[in-house]
Amino acid sequence: MVFPNSAGQTLAEHNQTARFGPHNVSALLDYVCVENRLGFAQHAAYNYLPVCEFPWINKGWRDNGEPGFEDVVFDDCSITMGQALNNYDSQCVTFIILSLIPVGLNIWFLKYTNECKMKKQQNKYWFMLKKPNINEKLLLLNVLLGLFHAFRCIDFLGYAMRLSLTTTHTISTGFCVAVPIHLGFLLVTR
């Protein structure tokens, strides 16, 4: 057997045969699911050494193949955690839709705000704001927040590797944190 066996095995501790003995699935399951819960056995959660590189996991884990852990393939980190969870993709789609609803509402309010202005103060195109008032700034920031949140929800936990956790996921999360802070500053300074 040559190490590494699969895509999710990049470090020495990912060599499951060396750690748990040849084809010892029960020791692997006991280590991951029982021993490393905080306060159980001799290991604490902070001593946990992953058996696969995040977000990879053993083939057959949880909902992959037959539900449960009976068909776990030892020393084969070839699926992502997103594939091991049956409803992860549908959760992502649900969260994207839920985060786009406020985007649509804020766009509608932005258009309505422009229509309520006097004719000479209206923008030629409602989305091309020249000197936005506080209301328009808040609405625009809410649109931006919703779009970044929807983008982040493409893979909200990072389990499916659809977004890079070191770049796009982190940047969109940063915007999801920065925009509400900016909204708060706008409200306090007015």
- 137: exposed, middle or buried (Cβ count in 10 Å: 0-12, 13-18, 19+): middle
Q: Residue 97's Cα: distance from chain center in Å?
A: 15
Q: What is the distance between the alpha carbons of residues 154 and 156, in angstroms, rounded to a whole number?
A: 6
Question: What ranges do the domains of the chain cover?
Answer: 12-84, 88-189
Q: What is the distance between the alpha carbons of residues 66 and 55, in angstroms, rounded to a whole number?
A: 20
pLDDT, one tens digit per residue, over 139-184 is 999 999 999 999 999 999 999 999 998 899 999 999 999 999 999 9
pLDDT, one tens digit per residue, over 66-80 is 888 888 998 889 999
pTM of the shown model: 0.81
